[in-house]
Chains A and B, each alone.
Chain A
Amino acid sequence: MPELNTSSLPDLIFTVLFFFMMVTSMRDVTPLVDVKTPTGGSEIEKLERKSLVSHIYIGPPARQFRATLGSAERIQLNESFAEVAAIREFVIAERESMFEKDKPLMKMSLKVDKGSKMGIIQDVKQELRKAKALNIVYSASQEKPKN
């Protein structure tokens, strides 16, 4: 039986590799809070250009932190828990890391657990207004059509 020619296999794999490098992005953070975003219908939009989006996570602490932190909603910025007051600094840091022409287009994506209370969200929104980060997105997933 003649042997299969595998000399083009690396090229093939490289093609797949480049495809994945282009369509995916680095996983941003390890979640410290449990977030199940609400679902919506026709008004849910896709966020274009991930480089413009910063995330604020709000939800009950993940299981391993429950014993020490309880189950009241907490805010997660980058890799750690944060207080409401830290949001302004976070916004400034995120804005600094962007290109000058992209700065006015910055979007804050609020990934909020659907079981959260409104109080913490209202506080976060007030802080975002003070930090002049006015474009926000309530992160939500598209409702699956019921069959």
Chain B
Amino acid sequence: MGKGKRKVPGLNQSSTADISFILLIFFLVTTSMDTDTGLPRRLPEWDPNVEEQELTIKERNVMTVKVNKNNEILVKNGKINRPIDVSELKDLAMEFIANPNDDPNLPIIEPYDIEGYGTVNTTIKHVIALETDRTANYEIYFKVQHELSKAYTELRDAWARRNFGKPLSECDPKTEEPIARAVYASKISETNPKEYGTE
């Protein structure tokens, strides 16, 4: 026996590539790469004691957006009351939310304290009431939600440009963005589902 002279034979590694190929193919098949995208919303808190509180809001502060069973969109506020096309909704909502000309038929503009910024004049009491028929189409509803969301984003963006001198996308997400968000806080209320035209 030769002491310490033996060499450990090298392991044949030619099949390692095949093994890892099999693993690779397994992962390719069982996984998906598509990232989920969507429109984030927050539901109101559920309170079993208060089924649906009666809203006592001045008429000028409310805009009703109604989607009926024929998928028509009806908008009613202090200024207009008519069916509209979904493409008009964003501009109507922006005019309603901001009330740029201090119209007495649109929401009242009041001073409002924002923590960490100061007092701004805004339509803090406005409400957009969204009523959807149970047989209405989801895609129409989604488009309505999307346009309303866009109206808020554009108003916040314009406000950020005026007051911070930069678009909303460049604002500090921890300090500046919440302020712009608070000035035009989203006030979309969804009334309890009803079936219109069935009473």
Residues of A within 8 A of B (CB): 6-7, 9-10, 13-14, 16-17, 20-21, 23-27, 37-38, 40-47, 50, 53, 107, 109-110, 112-119, 121-123, 125-126, 128-130, 132-142
Encode B32-44 as 1/0 by CB contact (under 8 A) with A: 1101111111111
CA distance A27 to B29 in the complex (A): 9
B139 at the interface (CB under 8 A from A): yes
- Chain A nearest CB, measured from B48 CB (Å): 8
Interface majority SS (helix, strand, loop, mixed), chain B: mixed
Given contacts A118-B134, A132-B45, 8 further A-B contacts (CB under 8 A): A9-B17, A27-B30, A27-B32, A38-B143, A118-B132, A134-B45, A137-B36, A139-B38
Contact in complex: B20, A13 (CB < 8 Å):
yes
CA distance A24 to B42 in the complex (A): 28
Contact of A47 among B24, B27, B38, B145 (CB under 8 A): B38
Contact in complex: A139, B36 (CB < 8 Å):
yes
- Chain B nearest CB, measured from A32 CB (Å): 17
Residues of B within 8 A of A (CB): 13-14, 16-17, 19-21, 23-24, 27-28, 30-33, 35-46, 67, 132-139, 141-143, 145-146, 149-150, 153, 193
Interface majority SS (helix, strand, loop, mixed), chain A: mixed
